[in-house]
Structure 1
Amino acid sequence: MLHKILIGSLLSMAGLAAQAGWVVNPEWSEINFISIKNDTVGESHQFRSFDGNLSESGKLELTIDLNSVDTQIDIRDQRMKKHLFKTEQYPTATVTADIAPEFLEGLEGTSPVKYPLQATLSLGESSVTVETEVTVQPANDHMIRVTNSKPLLLSAKSLGLVEGINKLQEIAGLQSIDHVVPVTFDISLSKEKN
């Protein structure tokens, strides 16, 4: 579910990274996802720990610590780590992407720019291509903010998470848990010092 996310957005920043690389600033960033249970109850969750960088050549890599999942209910966090993400085997998810050099130009100033991004999300034994439109907003000369313009919809089936979701549903005694997960992200990147 994660992702999806995160990756596409960071790529956009490459435009501002023509002369220096960028690193994710976790203190000013968020990765959130929503679960829907019993067809009517939506709950918002997040990942507390992630890092990444965008090189001057436009290579983006984002790593999400799946053990940092935070649903605001400890027992649910533990169940998600064990049955959904299987963090003992797969503690992280990664997002990677390449940004076109042409996009590296013309992002100076303070005006937000929208950009369609494609990235690869790897979770467990599954890797999927995700596409999303991001808004890139230069905050100042040393920081960029990247958000997805619309929620990114991730498929549990394509990420190999259906079995884990079904197990969570059984343990919690729920009628259903949706297999499509909306993901939003707000990522700030700081320019690396030369």
Structure 2
Amino acid sequence: MENRYNESLNLRCRYCMNKLVALFIIFSPLCAADWRLNSDSSHLSFVSIKNGVFAEVHRFKSLTGGVNEEGDAAVRIGLASVETNIPIRNERLKSMLFEIATFSLATVNSKLNMSDFISLPPGASLLALVPLNINLHGIDGKIPASVKVTRSSESVWHVVSIQPLILDASNYKLAAGIESLRAIAGLNDITTVIPVTFSLEFTRS
């Protein structure tokens, strides 16, 4: 009996350690960030399309993140901060789609060539294709983002999507949640293909 208890305890300890290591890998760029994301000046929006013709824009109010000198970039999206301008719909998205009790965050990570951005003089911009690693609803995915990077001042950079990212919710096991939302709202259809746009401001510390 004692051996079985010890074995079970060891398994739980190893599981907890693996989770801690994973969290450290995800959040270490944020802890050592040389460029901090300015949440109040940053925006991330997505569009839902209903019955094939009605489109509505929603957003997330909680964005945190940063970039370190080595070019490790990370952005965390608080899924509980989703804002659709209809309170009951906010709650449905949190519980039925994102399942925030289990998946409270979405994360976006990338590896950047910082020399391209640091060398920009204030007021100058460049276009870049940035590879993004997305973790949403416990699923990892990759997508390239076409962005415009502007150095607004000596210490501030803006990163703006120049075309929408197209996410297929079914790739992140969100299709069932979308179907539940469709049914409860009495709609004929909610598309699983979701355009996403963003405007991010980073300040160098």
Q: TM-score when scaled to structure 2?
A: 0.81
> Following the alignment from structure 1 to structure 2, what is the Cα–Cα distance between the partners of residues 145 and 37?
32
- Paired residues in the alignment total 173
Are positions 1:152 and 2:173 aligned together? no
Counterpart of 2:185 (choices 154, 164, 172) is: 172
- Matching residue's letter, 1:129: K
Distance 1:182 1:103, change over 3 A: same
> Following the alignment from structure 1 to structure 2, what is the Cα–Cα distance between the partners of residues 53 and 27?
14
> Following the alignment from structure 2 to structure 1, what is the Cα–Cα distance between the partners of residues 119 and 79?
35
- Please tell me whether the aligned partners of residues 117 and 149 of structure 2 are also in contact (alpha carbons under 8 angstroms): no
> Following the alignment from structure 2 to structure 1, what is the Cα–Cα distance between the partners of residues 75 and 116?
19
- Matching residue's letter, 1:46: R
Counterpart of 1:26 (choices 24, 30, 39) is: 39
The DSSP-based 3-state class of the residue aligned with 2:172 is coil
Alignment partner, residue 200 of structure 2: 187
Q: Which moved more, 1:96-105 or 1:112-121?
A: 96-105
**What's the Cα RMSD here?**
1.2
> Following the alignment from structure 1 to structure 2, what is the Cα–Cα distance between the partners of residues 184 and 68?
16
**Alignment of structure 1 residues 67-86 onto 2, 5 Å:** 67-86=80-99
Unaligned stretches of 5+ in structure 2? 1-32
Distance apart, 1:50 and its partner CA: 1.2
Distance apart, 1:124 and its partner CA: 1.6
Q: Which protein is bigger by CA-based radius of gyration?
A: 2
Distance apart, 1:94 and its partner CA: 0.3
**Alignment of structure 1 residues 93-104 onto 2, 5 Å:** 93-100=106-113, 102-104=115-117
Distance 1:101 1:143, change over 3 A: closer
Question: Cα deviation per residue 1:49-105 (whole Å; 9 max; x = unaligned)?
Answer: 110010011000111100000000000000000011000001000001111355355
> Following the alignment from structure 1 to structure 2, what is the Cα–Cα distance between the partners of residues 125 and 87?
11
Unaligned stretches of 5+ in structure 1? 1-19
Percent identical residues: 31
Which of the pair has the greater relative contact order for Cα pairs under 8 Å at 6+ separation? 1
